[in-house]
């Protein structure tokens, strides 16, 4: 890791109703405090969870006094209007979120989201003052065809477009190889590091070294306690976006502890 503050995020996807979400958020907060105290003031780890949209407000109320950050799992790019079933960035903020995941591969693959749609969401989040967590990642076919970096960089360029470095100051990128999500297969630390370094090099080329050094690039795809420390100790891996292992405190808290250990 580096001077960048490690960021550990739990993407709960379509799991946990309101009581379960409030209970789990409380367990995470209870575990975070002793970890932060033991690490001392010079070591910080940011921890974020993305509950289902219907649980966001209740979770936000229940953890209001804590350092736990909350994210939406998706948003619409329009602030309001005749968009049945959609939620705007401002409404996510209203419910207590400070961050929002966009471009998750499940949204791209199952809901047909394009780079152009993700670019609009990114702009809408920045305008509403939310931190975007932009997901990119290749499929197994693309990896096997040697297209990994090309695919990931095209997704990055497609989302960032002509946004300036100052507009992107808060950006977080999550590299999630599609073949590693929910499969138990993790990219090797060296393979993940290579893609993270390519993402940072692209950011440096497009927006300058200062933004490239500031943006946190998370790894996602079957992150668990047993592989977190090795992944997080790579120089360009600044945190993790965790799916399955974020659904219980027993699985998630050791990943937070691993981030403190390498911070």
Dihedral angle of Cα 15, 19, 20, 24, to the nearest 10 degrees? 120
> Residue 174 Cβ, how far from ligand 13P at the closest point, in Å?
7
- Under DSSP, is residue 103 helix (H, G, I), strand (E, B) or coil? coil
- Residue 223 binding ligand 13P, by CB under 6 A: yes
- Residue 74 binding ligand 13P, by CB under 6 A: no
> Residue 255 Cβ, how far from ligand 13P at the closest point, in Å?
10
Q: Indicate if 16 belongs to the active site.
A: no
Residue closer to ligand 13P by CB (options 239, 244) is 244
Identify the bridge partners of residue 220 per DSSP, sorted by sequence position: 241
Identify the bridge partners of residue 136 per DSSP, sorted by sequence position: 175
- Residue 182 binding ligand 13P, by CB under 6 A: yes
DSSP state for residue 138 in the 8-state scheme? -
Number of H helices, E strands in the chain: 11, 8
DSSP string computed for 160-187: HTT--TTTTTT-EEEE--GGGTTSS---
- Residue 221 binding ligand 13P, by CB under 6 A: yes
> Residue 210 Cβ, how far from ligand 13P at the closest point, in Å?
28
- Under DSSP, is residue 198 helix (H, G, I), strand (E, B) or coil? helix
235-254 footprint of ligand 13P as x/- string (CB under 6 A): ------xxxxx---------
Element (H, E) at 157: helix 148-160
Nearest to 214 by CA among 169, 149, 164: 169
> Residue 22 Cβ, how far from ligand 13P at the closest point, in Å?
21
- Residue 62 binding ligand 13P, by CB under 6 A: no
Considering 16, 76, 77, 104, which one is annotated as catalytic?
Answer: 104
Considering 176, 196, 202, 207, which one is annotated as catalytic?
Answer: 176
Which residues, numbered 16-55, are part of the site for ligand 13P (CB under 6 A)? none
Q: Which range in 31-39, 174-182, 203-211, 251-259 contacts ligand 13P by CB under 6 A?
A: 174-182
Element (H, E) at 62: helix 53-62
Name the residues annotated as catalytic.
104, 176
Contacting residues toward ligand 13P, per CB under 6 A: 11, 104, 176, 181-182, 220-223, 241-245
């Amino acid at each position: 890791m580096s001077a960048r503050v490690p960021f550990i995020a739990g993407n709960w996807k379509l799991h946990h109703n309101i009581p379960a979400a409030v209970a789990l958020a409380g367990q995470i907060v209870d575990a975070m405090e002793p970890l932060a105290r033991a690490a001392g003031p010079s070591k910080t780890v940011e921890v974020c969870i993305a509950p289902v949209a219907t649980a966001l407000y209740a979770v936000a109320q229940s953890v209001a006094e804590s350092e736990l950050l909350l994210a939406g799992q998706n948003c619409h790019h329009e602030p309001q209007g005749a968009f049945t079933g959609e939620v705007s960035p401002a409404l996510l903020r209203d419910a207590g979120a400070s961050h929002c995941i966009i471009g998750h591969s499940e949204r791209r693959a199952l809901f047909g989201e394009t780079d152009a749609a993700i670019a609009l969401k990114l702009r809408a989040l920045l305008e509403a003052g939310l931190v975007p967590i932009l997901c990119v990642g290749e499929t197994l076919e693309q990896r096997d065809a040697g297209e990994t970096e090309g695919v990931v960089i095209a997704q990055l360029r497609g989302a960032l477009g002509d946004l300036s470095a100052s507009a992107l100051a808060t950006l977080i990128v999550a590299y999630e190889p599609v073949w590693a999500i929910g499969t138990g297969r993790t990219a090797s630390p060296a393979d993940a590091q290579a893609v993270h370094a390519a993402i940072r090099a692209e950011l440096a080329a497009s927006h300058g070294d200062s933004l490239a050094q500031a943006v946190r690039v998370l790894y996602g795809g079957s992150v668990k306690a047993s592989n977190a420390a090795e992944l997080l100790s790579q120089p360009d891996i600044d945190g993790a976006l965790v799916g399955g292992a974020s659904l219980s405190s027993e699985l998630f808290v050791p990943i937070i502890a691993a981030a403190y250990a390498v911070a």
